[in-house]
Amino acid sequence: MTTACHLLDLDGAQRPFVETLVSRARQFKAGVPNQGLRLRGRIVVGMFFEPSTRTATSYAVAAQRLGAVWLDFRSEESSLRKGESLEDTMRTLRAIGADAVVVRHREAGFPHLLARHFPGSVHNAGDGAHAHPTQGLADALTLVEEFGDLTGRRVLIVGDIAHSRVARSSAKAAHLLGADVVLCGPPLLLPSQPAWGFAACTSDLEAALPGADAVIMLRLQIERGTHGELPPADDVARAYGLTLQRSQAMAPHAILMHPGPVNRGLELAPELVAAERSRIAHQVENGVYVRMAALERTLGHADREHAA
């Protein structure tokens, strides 16, 4: 759900929404004058209940570049530990002056719950296996920088699709911009076809690699463990990891992406992380600019709504 003041997922998003944010992110990357005044005096609170390096840091940098103040809500040291309810916590943050919260949580739907208790802006920084909208936008920006118009370009997303919030958001953003999206993984880790209403699925990596313009390798989520009926992570890595040999089947122009963090030697050969065709560092850099665009858009709208 994407509303005027929240960024919760891309599930119901339309093409103009993604185009506008990608275009604004490109403007920020090129250097927007006086960008440090755009959110001056606004307060953005990071609520990360799960670990993060890229998303948390780049949201903080994005907020600060726009002139906002970034505060870290340390959940383990907060009064949540003393039994304060989520509703009261959000009320407290609002009373202190928070305009936006950026939340990551292991439960799908947690940011949507926060949005019901918080009259400011809520950004989803990753909820369970559901959504990671700004990763989807950062990946869309990376693809647009590489190819321009994505019409007819094929994006192949490989790995544990079923448990990946990145797969859903990156696939949706690329699809909205005109790309053909193909999901590849073991049958038990694929959605039913057509996935999410638009993506094709395959379990044949060797057959899928040569036709892809971009290959997005997913992280094996070792920390979430596996359940009895699911294939062990090592087996998935052996069958679906991108080795040097497998990467030679990619088209010469094709790029390699990964949302990070990378399990080197599992889903991706260590030598490929910084290979010429890798755009992994671009994805991280682009995360700052799409988060600037998203904060500006949602806080701008929130401003107008709450001014009434």
Residues that bind ligand CP (CB under 6 A): 52-55, 126, 132, 135, 259-261
What letter would DSSP give residue 232? P
Q: Which amino acid is at 150?
A: L
Closest distance to ligand CP from the beta carbon of 261 (Å): 6
Return the number of the residue (13 or 216) whose C-beta is nearest ligand CP: 216
Closest distance to ligand CP from the beta carbon of 87 (Å): 27
Return the number of the residue (3 or 57) whose C-beta is nearest ligand CP: 57
Cα–Cα distance for residue pair 268/263, rounded to 1 Å: 7
Closest distance to ligand CP from the beta carbon of 97 (Å): 26
Handedness of CA 257, 51, 130, 54 (dihedral sign): negative
Nearest to 202 by CA among 190, 217, 214: 190
Closest distance to ligand CP from the beta carbon of 123 (Å): 13
**Who's near 31: CB < 8 A, 6+ residues apart?**
none
Return the number of the residue (6 or 54) whose C-beta is nearest ligand CP: 54
Closest distance to ligand CP from the beta carbon of 132 (Å): 6
Return the number of the residue (219 or 297) whose C-beta is nearest ligand CP: 219
Return the number of the residue (126 or 159) whose C-beta is nearest ligand CP: 126
Closest distance to ligand CP from the beta carbon of 109 (Å): 18
Return the number of the residue (38 or 130) whose C-beta is nearest ligand CP: 130
Alpha helices in the chain (DSSP H): 15-30, 54-65, 86-96, 110-117, 133-147, 165-176, 205-208, 233-240, 244-247, 280-307
> DSSP 3-state helix, strand, coil percentages of the chain (rounded to 5)?
45, 15, 35
* Residue 147 backbone class (left: φ over 0; alpha: ψ -120 to 50; beta: rest): alpha
